[in-house]
């Protein structure tokens, strides 16, 4: 019998208990052992909840119970969650988590602590919700030198951009709708400014390199600057606008990682990932392009990813197996995001088009929309482009194209 | 040092050697051990090939060499490949393969033989080429009761359908082009009649149930009946036509599996999988919908999937770990494919439309194209629909819609 403790009985934690209980027969078959949730740690009581009797308030009850094999940390944050995770691993209990902040900050330290104590630390649910991506990175993509990862990693912003595209609505109006529906927080900054996607691409970029890419080093550009005119251009050009979190390896081996809105062609698989769906598009040196698509958030989808870790932890525990994950503390120095060359759409008012064309070389007209002219320019860094535009004195807006 | 033998130096086998050699540094880092190809088994010699010195003609050299830990079977077929796989597993050497025919026919027997001899049998490359799907089924999706799998699992037919859609060309003309480009075999039956996709969905349906779904029991309908008028209707209805291999679990627990062309809506992620790309769309009871997308064939993509198995086999061997895969020999009885209810487009000549509307209830006009009228009907089995149409005496063509 494998016994599990769940730390935090919020949305994800209650989903984890539900998945383990409702799909128990098939999970037991697939582990080759019985499994049950023995404790739920929460500060609150849950009178009337069918699992009320499992709730404990003192983490010691869990840490000191030798029957507990696996701890699911679904509390969030990097405070108590960090302390409890270290306690569990030190006690030889394997831990899995949905907590991207904790994984981004302390991933390699916690992995090393798990190895030292002959247990495992897993974090499939920390990126992409229910989409399998962490385990495929550690196993299926292990033969690959990964050249780039591009992800739609935040459901809230993708919902907002999808609505803006479909309805031609303004950012503020769609944000309000999303808040009313519960898809966006009242303080939406973590989503709309790209912080959430930034933490997730930091984790993926770390696994891509086997070293540590820090969130603090990642340039973040959110969606608050995207307006209806951008979408009018996207429509005229048969493109979509998505918030892309990306990590790219240059031919000299240097790595770039940033989050920014991108215009994507109608034929790019990421361009068609709509609403709250997420996707991760990975390019390997042997495999070429692959994409993982699914629900990036939501109670049961995220819980399913946590329980996939529980199953792997249970199988590994019974066999004394160390699950593979290569992630050292050595920090990766990122190449500045604005020095890599790319393709951009530059938009200026129609009456300023002549001045732009005279001042910036290599541009070609892409579309005229709503009193603006859009020009495409390729093979230039954002830094060089911004310098060229600054010298014109024009109010030009740029958006990255893929 | 992990030593590998590759059986068969054809397209996939030579790709496996290339991936292991060219990405050797990072593969060694990820395994935590050196790894090299020690033997290549082939009847031919390869004078001038850089790996000429590794080629052996007698399989005994491999089977009797205690240094060989892992055998990659990339020969194809279920004759010698079956014998050699059994010999290797009996000798305690783990085996991985890209051979869908062998896996479909003998999967559970070979898995059991591996378990008996404390080694492993893996077959990531047998379905979907470079797309990670077998390992995710065994690990990431282990918490899920999988309700359905729908796949575009054959690149040749998807290339043909994509070209027919884009160019309005006839099936025979596009097939000829595909043959000239080497995308289709001179005898294209295995692809265009759905045999290849049928074997692959048999494997996925087996892993979905943990029991055995036999290829022989799967209804196969290929793409040879699809014509330009079908695509004209698809265009009028903003849909695409794809050859879908599917396995669906009904609410009574019964399973259906078949291969047939489907019209898919513009918003269905599978509808946008074009050219030689493949994708597998899985619906789980907790996770909802997820999709895996990538190259379904090709030397290096398929080889990368084989090498991902090699890496897992190497890790597991060093730890004495049995990699998870639940697939018993118990055979699953399939519910007849034409008894499950679905949605169809019925097309008749315009001058016969009145007779159809009078004879079949529940239809609604969807589009008029090229002298035909297309009607949509929902919630009916193919069997019932065909009986109703037979009673009209009309030349009606039907196509399944999703």
* B240 close to B272: Cβ distance less than 8 angstroms: yes
User: A118 contacts in B (CB within 8 Å)?
Assistant: none
Q: How far, in whole angstroms, is CA B48 from its chain's centroid?
A: 35
Distance of alpha carbon A238 from its chain centroid, rounded?
Answer: 26
A208 contacts chain B (CB < 8 A):
no
Residue B136 and residue A141: Cβ atoms within 8 Å?
A: no
Q: Which residues of A136-150 are buried (b: 16+ CB within 10 A; e: fewer)?
A: bbbbbbbbbbbbbbb
pLDDT at B82 over 90: yes
Give me the residue from B143, B293, B321 closest to A307, CB to CB: B143
Interchain pair B300, A287: CB under 8 A: yes
Q: Is A67 on the interface with B (CB under 8 A)?
A: no
Do A321 and B326 make contact, defined as CB atoms within 8 angstroms?
no
- The least confident of A242-246, B26-30, B79-83, B251-255 is B251-255
Residue A253 at interface with chain B, using a CB cutoff of 8 Å: no
Rounded Cα gap, residues A43 and B232, in angstroms: 62
The pLDDT tens digits of the residues spanning B13-25 come to 999 999 999 999 9
Give the active site residues of B. Answer: 200
Domains and CATH numbers, chain A: 2-130+298-319 (3.40.50.720), 136-295 (3.30.360.10), 340-401 (3.30.70.120)
Chain A residues closer than 8 Å to B311 by CB: 139, 142-143
Taking only the tens place, the pLDDT of each residue in B193-242 is 999 999 999 999 999 999 999 999 999 999 999 999 899 999 988 999 99
Average pLDDT of the residues in B121-147: 96
pLDDT above 90: residue B335 = no
| Residue range B26-39, pLDDT digits in tens | 999 999 999 999 99
Which residues of chain B have a CB within 8 Å of the CB of A274? 267
Say what angle helices A24-31 and A299-319 make with each other, to 10 degrees.
30
Between helix A195-209 and helix A100-116 the angle, nearest 10°, is 30
- The predicted structure's pLDDT at residue B311: 97
Cα B289 off chain centre by: 18
pLDDT at B323 over 90: no
| Nearest CB partner across the interface for B308, out of A30, A139, A319 | A139
Provide the pLDDT for residue A326: 80
Give the alpha-carbon dihedral of A225, A228, A234, A238, to 10 degrees: 150
Task: Give the list of residues 6+ apart from residue B163 with CB closer than 8 angstroms, or none.
Answer: B169, B174, B177, B178
Q: Which of A100, A200, A239, A317 is the catalytic position?
A: A200
> What contacts A72, CB < 8 A, 6 or more positions away?
A4, A5, A6, A7, A13, A16, A95, A96, A97, A306, A309, A310
The yes-or-no answer on residue A235 being catalytic is no
Look at B300 and A288 and tell me if their CB atoms are within 8 Å: yes
Provide the pLDDT for residue B351.
93
Per-residue b or e along B49-76, where b marks 16 or more CB atoms closer than 10 Å to that residue's CB? eebeebbbeebeebbeeeebbbbbbbbb
pTM of this prediction? 0.92
Q: What is the DSSP letter of B331?
A: B
Enumerate the residues of chain A whose CB falls inside 8 A of the CB of residue B17.
none
Report pLDDT for A340. 85
Other beta carbons within 10 angstroms of residue A43's beta carbon come to 9
Between residues 221 and 250 of chain B, which touch chain A (CB distance below 8 Å)?
none
% of chain B residues with pLDDT over 90: 82
- Out of B287, B298, B305, the one facing A304 most closely (by C-beta) is B287
Cα separation, B68 vs A33, whole angstroms: 33
B6 part of contact set with chain A, CB < 8 Å: no
Q: How many helices (H) and strands (E) does chain B have?
A: 14, 16
Residue A228's nearest CA partner among A152, A160, A277, A154 is A160
**Are the beta carbons of B343 and B381 closer than 8 angstroms?**
no
- Count CA within 13 A, CB hemisphere, residue A270: 28
Nearest residue of B to residue A270, measured between CA atoms: B269
B335: which DSSP letter? P
Per DSSP, helices labelled H in B193-274 are: 195-209, 228-236
Query: What's the burial of B210, exposed, middle or buried (CB within 10 Å: 0-12/13-18/19+)?
Result: middle
pLDDT at B270 > cutoff 90: yes
| Packing angle, helices A171-180 and A155-167, rounded to 10 | 130
Residues whose CB is less than 8 angstroms from the CB of residue A9 and which lie 6 or more positions away in sequence, other chains included: A17, A40, A41, A42, A44, A46, A51, A55
Give the distance from residue A162's alpha carbon to the nearest chain B alpha carbon, in angstroms. Answer: 13
pLDDT, averaged across chain B: 94
Does B265 reach chain A within 8 Å, measured CB to CB? no
Q: How many residues does chain A have?
A: 402
Q: Are B4 and B38 in contact (CB under 8 A)?
A: yes
Residue A84 has a pLDDT of 98
| Minimal Cβ distance to B136: which of A136, A210, A293 | A136
Q: Which residue has the tokens 């050859």?
A: B243
B278: left (phi over 0), alpha (psi -120 to 50) or beta: beta
**Which tokens sit at B257?**
């599996």
Q: What is the pLDDT of residues B102-119, one digit of tens each?
A: 999 999 999 999 999 999
pLDDT of residue B267: 84
| Helix/strand/coil for A256 | strand
pLDDT digits (tens), chain A, 402 positions: 999 999 999 999 999 999 999 999 999 999 999 999 999 999 999 999 999 999 999 999 999 999 999 999 999 999 999 999 999 999 999 999 999 999 999 999 999 999 999 999 999 999 999 999 999 999 999 999 999 999 999 999 999 999 999 998 999 999 999 999 888 899 999 999 999 999 999 999 999 999 999 999 999 999 999 999 899 899 988 999 999 999 999 888 889 999 999 999 878 999 999 998 999 999 999 999 999 999 998 899 999 999 999 999 999 998 988 888 888 888 888 888 888 889 999 999 999 999 998 889 999 999 998 899 999 999 999 999 999 999 998 989 999 987
Give the pLDDT confidence score for residue A324 in this predicted structure. Answer: 84
State residue A358's pLDDT score.
85
Indicate the pLDDT class of residue B183, thresholds 50, 70 and 90: confident
Contact list in A for residue B322 (CB cut-off 8 A) is 319
Q: Report DSSP state, residue B336.
A: P
Report whether A259 contacts A221 (CB < 8 A): yes
What is the pLDDT at residue B324?
A: 84
Chain B residues 321-360 with a CB less than 8 Å from chain A = 321-322, 324, 326
Cα distance between residue B370 and residue B233, in whole Å = 9
Chain B CB contacts of A131 below 8 Å: 290
CA distances from A237 to A149, A243, A271, B269, B362 (A): 25, 18, 13, 21, 41
The three-class DSSP label of residue B248 is strand
A309 to chain B, closest Cα gap in Å = 8
What's the whole-number mean pLDDT along residues B154-180? 94
The H or E element spanning position B136 is helix B134-138
Cβ contact A217:A279 at 8 Å: no
Q: State the pLDDT at residue A218.
A: 94
How far B124 CA sits from the closest chain A CA (Å)? 9
């Amino acid at each position: 019998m494998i016994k599990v403790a769940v730390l935090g009985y919020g949305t994800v934690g209650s989903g984890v208990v539900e998945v383990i209980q409702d799909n128990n027969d098939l999970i037991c078959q697939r582990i080759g052992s019985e499994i049950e949730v023995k404790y739920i740690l929460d500060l609150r009581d849950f009178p009337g909840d069918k699992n009320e009797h499992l709730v404990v308030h003192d983490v010691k009850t869990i840490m000191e119970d030798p029957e507990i094999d696996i701890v699911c940390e679904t509390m969030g944050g990097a405070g108590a969650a960090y302390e409890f995770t270290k306690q569990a691993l030190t006690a030889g209990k394997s831990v899995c988590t949905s907590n991207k902040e904790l994984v981004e900050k302390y991933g390699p330290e916690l992995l090393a602590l798990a190895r030292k104590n002959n247990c495992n630390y897993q974090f499939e649910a920390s990126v992409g919700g229910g989409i399998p991506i962490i385990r495929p990175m550690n196993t299926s993509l292990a033969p690959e030198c990964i050249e780039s990862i591009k992800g739609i990693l935040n459901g809230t912003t993708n919902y907002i951009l999808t609505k803006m595209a479909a309805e031609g609505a303004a950012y503020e109006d769609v944000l309000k709708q999303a808040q009313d529906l519960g898809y966006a927080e009242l303080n939406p900054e973590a989503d709309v400014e790209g912080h959430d996607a930034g933490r997730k691409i930091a984790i993926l970029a770390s696994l891509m390199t086997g070293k540590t890419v820090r969130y603090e080093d990642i340039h973040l550009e959110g969606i608050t600057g995207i307006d209806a005119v951008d979408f009018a251009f996207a429509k005229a050009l048969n493109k979509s606008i998505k918030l892309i979190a990306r990590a790219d390896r240059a031919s000299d081996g240097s790595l770039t990682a940033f989050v920014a809105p991108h215009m994507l062609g109608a034929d790019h698989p990421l361009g068609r990932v709509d609403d709250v769906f997420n996707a991760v598009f990975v390019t390997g040196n042997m495999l070429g392009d692959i994409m993982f698509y699914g629900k990036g958030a939501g109670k049961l989808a995220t819980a399913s990813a946590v329980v996939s870790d529980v199953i792997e932890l249970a199988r590994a525990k019974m066999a004394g197996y160390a699950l593979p994950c290569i992630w050292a503390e050595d920090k990766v120095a990122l190449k500045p995001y604005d020095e890599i060359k790319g393709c951009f759409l530059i938009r200026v008012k129609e009456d300023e088009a002549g001045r732009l064309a005279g001042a910036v070389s290599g541009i070609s007209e892409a579309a005229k929309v709503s009193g603006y002219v859009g020009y495409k320019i390729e093979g230039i860094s954002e830094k060089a482009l911004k310098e060229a535009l600054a010298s014109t004195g024009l109010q030009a807006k740029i958006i990255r194209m893929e």
